[in-house]
Amino acid sequence: MSWTEERVELLKKMWAEGASASQIAKELGGVTRNAVIGKVHRLGLSNRNAGAPAQGPAAANKVEAPATEPVSAAQPEEVAEAAEEKPAQPQAEAAVSQQPQPQLRKIIPAGQPLPPQPSANEIDPEALARVRKVESKALRLSLMELTERTCKWPVGDPATDDFWFCGLPVQHGKPYCEAHVALAYQPMSARRDRRR
DNA sequence: CCCTGATTCGC
DNA sequence: GCGAATCAGG
């Protein structure tokens, strides 16, 4: 394979849209992610910032480097990435500390469709309890961090900052981890006769 | 282990 | 110019 104009165009487009090198390589076919990265550098667009908003609303930052001096260092800045994580994230394998799940957070009305989570009266109490435990071990990945083998079960309200995906290893071939597969693929027999 | 981009360097 | 190998990091 060679870098025809078409392929370069697709590369540019995808890269600008925030796709990873491996994703682009897969899409193009016939090249590895290394090839893509190499090309990206040769094209001189390793700086993905200028061009398209990769993610989030705060993407109006231009990285214009004046030949003079970066004196104006105190710009509006991106206040965004202040969304740190709890001091010490309990290692997955470590002792499972039973955290009471501090669901007490600033609640912002959705104003948009909620993720496809089964309504409370549709899942059996036992499974619900199981999910609680799983959620405590979840990797809490962001949309961008999901891959073909990370559980894509959404938790929380996408309109708030308390939204994440499970992220645990998926069940072979399924989009969810073992626990969430159990929830997502309930046999009719199990769902039957669950009064509301 | 899964993944990411960055760099090097023989081709 | 190309990209595998390697590096550095999450």
Where along chain A do its domains lie? Answer: 5-43, 125-194
Helix, strand or coil, per DSSP, at residue A23? helix
Query: What's residue A159's pLDDT?
Result: 82
Which nucleotides of strand B lie under 7 Å from a protein CB?
Answer: 2-8
Query: What's residue A113's pLDDT?
Result: 47
Smallest Cα–C1' distance to nucleotide C4: which residue has it? A34
Element (H, E) at A69: none
d(CA A147, C1' C4) / Å: 24
Structure tokens at A49: 């910032």
Quick: pLDDT tens for A34-65: 999 999 999 998 776 554 444 434 334 344 44
Q: How far apart are CA A15 and CA A28, in angstroms?
A: 12
Query: Concatenated DSSP letters for A87-129?
Result: SSPPPSSS----------S------SPPPSPPPGGGS-HHHHH
Which nucleotides of strand C lie under 7 Å from a protein CB?
Answer: 1-6
Nucleotide nearest to A22 (CA to C1'): B4
First to last CA, chain A: 59
Whether the pLDDT of residue A94 is over 50: the answer is: no
Mean pLDDT of A79-83: 41
Quick: pLDDT tens for A127-159: 667 667 777 778 888 888 788 888 888 888 888
Confidence bin at A97 (pLDDT 50/70/90): very low
Query: What's residue A84's pLDDT?
Result: 41
d(CA A136, C1' B9) / Å: 47
**Backbone dihedral angles phi then psi of residue A155, each to the nearest 5 degrees:** -130, 130
Query: Concatenated DSSP letters for A123-191?
Result: S-HHHHHHHHHHHHH---B-GGG--TTB---EES-TTSS--EE--SBBPTTSSSBHHHHHHHT--HHHH
